[in-house]
Structure 1
Amino acid sequence: MNKLREFLNGLSPIDQSQFATDCGTTIASLRTAISKKSKLGAALCMKIEVQSHQKVTRLDLLSTTDCLAIWPNEFNRSNLELNL
């Protein structure tokens, strides 16, 4: 979540709002999730990865276990460990 916070802080308020809209949410919802350290859904994590041009990835937002469970064909333990 820190990477998402840093990414958002690097955007202007207008760009933050547009980014959140492009992800199908609001900046308030993203900020609340960050402050409460809430677990984000897989679909939102994918949208964040795409809309941030991989500056914030699913691996930044979800645990290794979650990534392995949700995307078993895309990730395996060895390539996740390299990214930790």
Structure 2
Amino acid sequence: MTSAVPDASAYVERAGKLYSTAVPQEIDYPVYSVSKENGLVTVTLSNARDQYVKYWAYFKTVDRFVFDKESGEYVVYASEQEEREKRLEENWFG
């Protein structure tokens, strides 16, 4: 987790709770990275073992939660197998 964002732990907790409501859950060993820019807080969720699984079949997923600090609303983007990121539908997370 990045410490440059004073309230980073609250955003990590929120992203983690949102992720826990998703089906399917493809990230077994979550690693969070937090950044802040222009009133937006971004929490990137990836799998800790991604960098160690180069030579066997493994589904790599990265989810990026972008929270608007002022409104509290969020948007989620996902990329699979290091392909182009796509925006997830609003109902993806419960």
TM range (shorter): under 0.3
Structure with greater helix percent = 1
Higher relative CO (CA 8 A, sep ≥ 6), structure 1 or 2?
1
TM-score by length of 1: 0.27
Normalising by the residue count of structure 2, what TM-score does the alignment of the two structures yield?
Answer: 0.25
